[in-house]
């Protein structure tokens, strides 16, 4: 009897834990936790009618179009200095439930995707596919501070310097 009760409670806890997956606050001015259903779309396609196959195959900014017709820019995912395209591209043209932070500023609202779930009954996954893909492409290096060892970033730093202006150097202390 005790074992059956324990198993039932453990199962209920695991189910509740999966359903409770929710955005973490980052302390950004104007942030609010948000969860909503929306269709994954190519932003440029929605705005201009220029609509290449598969939402631009990862070369265009993706967003979320709500049932009310609101177009939401997905500015980033969980990875440091990375966008949400790799997390959203597999769901191009499909509905997902997005969970993250809606950041509202006087200039433009944007969304930081933290979790996503395909509809109608997919499983939740963390929005960190960019980092996973980067790690695979870079011999298994950890993606936590990927920008410190990324060949593209290092090439730009060498060409343009840390301030983005060739020859400009930080002051010596």
Is-contact 98 64, C-beta < 8 A? yes
Instruction: Assess if residue 129 is contained within a domain.
Output: yes
**Range of the structural domain that residue 82 is part of:** 27-139
Does residue 77 lie within any of the structural domains?
A: yes
| Residue partners of 144: CB distance under 8 A and separation at least 6 | 80, 131
Would you say residue 156 lies in a domain?
no
How much is the pLDDT for 10? 41
Assigned domain for 171 exists? no
Tell me, what's the pLDDT at 19? 52
Residue 119 in any domain: the answer is yes
* Residue 34 pLDDT: 93
Q: Assess contact for 40 and 93: CB atoms under 8 A.
A: yes
The predicted pLDDT at position 35 comes to: 96
Residues whose CB is less than 8 angstroms from the CB of residue 66 and which lie 6 or more positions away in sequence, other chains included = 36, 37, 38, 72
- Total domains in the fold of the chain: 1
Q: How far apart are the first and last CA of the chain?
A: 71
Q: What is the pLDDT of residue 166?
A: 82
Round to whole Å and give the CA distance between 42 and 99: 19
| Residue 113 CB coordination number (10 Å) | 27
CA 52 – CA 124 distance, rounded (Å): 28
Output b/e per residue, 60-81; b: 16+ Cβ within 10 A: bbbbbbeeeeeebebbbbbbee
CA distance 25 to 103: 11
173 belongs to a structural domain: no
- Asked if the structure places residue 161 within a domain, the reply is no
Q: What is the pTM of this model?
A: 0.76
User: Beta partners for 66?
Assistant: 38
Mean pLDDT, contiguous 10-residue spans, the chain (173 residues)? 42 44 79 95 96 93 95 88 91 96 86 94 91 89 86 90 84 83
Residue 13 domain-assigned (yes or no):
no
Look at residue 77 in the predicted model and tell me its pLDDT. Answer: 84
């Amino acid at each position: 009897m005790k074992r059956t009760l324990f198993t039932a409670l453990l199962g209920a806890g695991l189910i509740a834990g999966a359903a409770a997956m929710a955005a973490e606050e980052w302390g950004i001015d104007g942030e609010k936790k948000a969860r909503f259903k929306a269709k994954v779309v190519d932003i440029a396609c929605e705005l201009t009618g220029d609509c290449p196959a598969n939402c631009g195959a990862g070369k265009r900014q993706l967003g979320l179009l709500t049932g009310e017709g609101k177009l939401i820019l997905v500015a980033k995912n969980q990875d440091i200095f990375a966008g949400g395209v790799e997390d959203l591209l597999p769901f191009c043209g499909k509905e997902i439930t997005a969970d993250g932070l809606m950041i509202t500023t006087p200039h433009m609202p944007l969304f930081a995707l933290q979790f996503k779930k395909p509809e109608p009954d997919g499983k939740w996954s963390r929005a960190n596919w960019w980092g996973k893909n980067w790690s695979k492409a870079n011999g298994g290096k950890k993606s936590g501070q990927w920008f410190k060892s990324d060949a593209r970033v290092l090439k730009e730093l060498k060409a343009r310097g840390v301030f983005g202006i060739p020859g400009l150097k930080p002051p010596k202390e």
